[in-house]
Amino acid sequence: MAGGREPIEVKFRLFDGTDIGPNKYDPATTVTALKEFVLARWPQDKDIIPKTLNDVKLINAGRILENNKTLAESRVPVGEVPGGVITMHVVVRPPQSDKSGIA
């Protein structure tokens, strides 16, 4: 990889405990690109299916990751095992309801 940086292995834990991955990513990969990966591989048999990137939040070590940051900028190395897999949690924003006339 560029600059001698090792790829980072990440798996994405969905709301029901199932995983997407693990897969290896260049440290320069953006959070937006990770979300695109998750969205493209989202299991279609789930009750909740995100429709856009804005519906998906990635969380690592309790922090919501910012779209414009890279994987290297977003990692929290505390507790990581060298060469280990990083688990990122995926949260899906619930669909907005059109309940404007609640009685």
Prediction pTM value: 0.82
Confidence band, pLDDT 50/70/90 cuts, at residue 44? very high
> In which band, very low, low, confident or very high, does the pLDDT at 2 lie, cut at 50, 70 and 90?
very low
pLDDT of residue 77: 63
Q: With beta carbons less than 8 A apart as the criterion, state whether 41 and 59 touch.
A: no
Structure tokens at 36: 């695109």
Domains of the chain: 2-92 (3.10.20.90)
How confident is the model at residue 78, as a pLDDT? 53
* Phi, psi values for residue 29, rounded to 5°: -65, 135
27, 23, 54, 59: which is closest to 41 by C-alpha? Answer: 23
Least confident among 13-27, 38-52, 74-88: 74-88
Mean pLDDT value of segment 28-57: 94
Question: What local confidence, expressed as pLDDT, does residue 94 receive?
Answer: 78
Q: What is the mean pLDDT of residues 1-21?
A: 83
Burial label for 91, CB within 10 Å (0-12, 13-18, 19+), is: middle
pLDDT of residue 5: 76
Mode of pairing for the β-strands spanning 8-13 and 19-25: antiparallel
Which carries the bigger pLDDT value, residue 26 or residue 84? 26
